[in-house]
Amino acid sequence: MAEEEQRPWLSAELNNMADEISVIGPGHMGIGITQVFLQVGYNVVLVGRSRESLDKGMERLKTSMGKAIKKGSLNEKEAEKMLNALHLSSDYHDIAGSILIIEAVSENFDIKTDVLKNAEAHANNTAIIATNTSSIPIHKLGNGLKNRERFLGMHFFNPVPVMKPIELIISKETSEQAISDVKNIIDKLGKTPVMVNDYPGFIANRILMPFINEAIIALENGAADKEGIDTIAKLGFNHPMGPLELADFIGLDVCKDIMDSIYMETGNAKFIPSELLSRLVKEGKLGRKSGEGFYIYKK
């Protein structure tokens, strides 16, 4: 790489590699993460387990980019450039040239462990591997990895193109160099890294999930209707969305998985998902993504 192309903000190992990252899991979060990296000029390899999941992800990406074009924050030429820098794949060999690999698959320990091991087996040995887990302890996810110095949590917020913070969760084994590299990459995204320790639910979800769950219990108890509960939070707490709207937006399955995982770690009853939440998930009412949760959405 020529002198003038050096990127002094990255460690020497990463500096020799192209500006390419990989995202594994073309769901809600994976697509948002893909979009923000494409927007700042990275090449992105998006890995899905099937053609169908990748096609679904692409549809979501194009819709989101279309909204940005309408708002004027993106133009057609930039959008075309972004799509040209995106490579869709179901083959882990394609992640070998990436400096950073972000796992964003379903919030399930076994699935994530499998994906992370596979990612490490195919990644360049200088690459950083990150998980976007909402709640599973980083040290547990890292247990199956050989190179834990370059493994950490990058918890993006939803919707990724809009939300600024990224919880940076490190384990005792994460190296200073990896932390510094990731902080610098986050800086290029125009986002704000917040260092948090490896506690169940980290910071965001240990606060947010009991709040959402309590709102669901209030609905279940008949304390108010859904609009009433959401209006109190919007007008009374100045939240942009009420807790029930937010749960639909996050995905009710994701909320339940997060609560189950924090409860398993802490044994604290305040993290037991409410009966109504569990029932809706069982019925396939997952919120916006399925067309119905607490509210009904047009497809």
**Alpha-carbon gap, residue 229 to 237, rounded angstroms:** 11
Find, among 252, 260, 237, the residue nearest to 289 by Cα.
Answer: 252
Segment contacting ligand NAD by CB under 6 A, of 91-99, 100-108, 169-177, 189-197: 100-108
| Strand ranges of the sheet holding 86-89, from the earlier edge strand across to the other edge | 86-89, 43-47, 20-24, 100-103, 128-131, 151-156, 165-169, 192-196
Phi, psi of 195 (to 5 degrees): -75, 125
Catalytic residue among 20, 155, 213, 261: 155
Binding mask 45-84 for ligand NAD (x = CB under 6 A): ---xx---x-------------------------------
Which pair of structure tokens corresponds to residue 58? 């692409």
- Interacting residue with ligand NAD among 22, 35, 98, 133 (CB under 6 A): 133
The DSSP element (H or E) to which 167 belongs, if any, is: strand 165-169
Q: Which long-range contacts (CB under 8 A, 24 or more apart) does 239-242 make?
A: 242/215
Q: What is the rounded distance in angstroms from the CA atom of residue 131 to the CA atom of residue 112?
A: 8
Q: Among 158, 175, 184, 266, which residue interacts with ligand NAD (rule: CB under 6 A)? A: 158
Q: Which is nearer to ligand NAD, 19 or 248 (CB)?
A: 248
Map the footprint of ligand NAD across residues 182-241, applying CB under 6 A.
none
User: Count residues contacting ligand NAD (CB under 6 A)?
Assistant: 26
Decide if 167 is catalytic. Answer: yes
Query: If we measure between CA atoms, which residue out of 13, 6, 39, 2 comes closest to residue 188?
Result: 39
Please state the closest distance from residue 14 (CB atom) to ligand NAD, in A.
24
Are 92 and 12 in contact by the 8 Å Cβ rule? The answer is: no
Task: Based on the residue annotation, tell me whether 122 is a catalytic residue of this protein.
Answer: no
Cβ proximity to ligand NAD, 58 vs 229, nearer residue: 58
Minimum Å distance from CB 133 to ligand NAD?
A: 5
Question: Of 14, 19, 20, 26, which one interacts with ligand NAD (CB under 6 A)?
Answer: 26
Q: List active site positions.
A: 134, 155, 167, 205
The footprint of ligand NAD (CB under 6 A) covers 24-30, 48-49, 53, 104-107, 111, 115, 132-134, 155-156, 158, 250-251, 254, 258
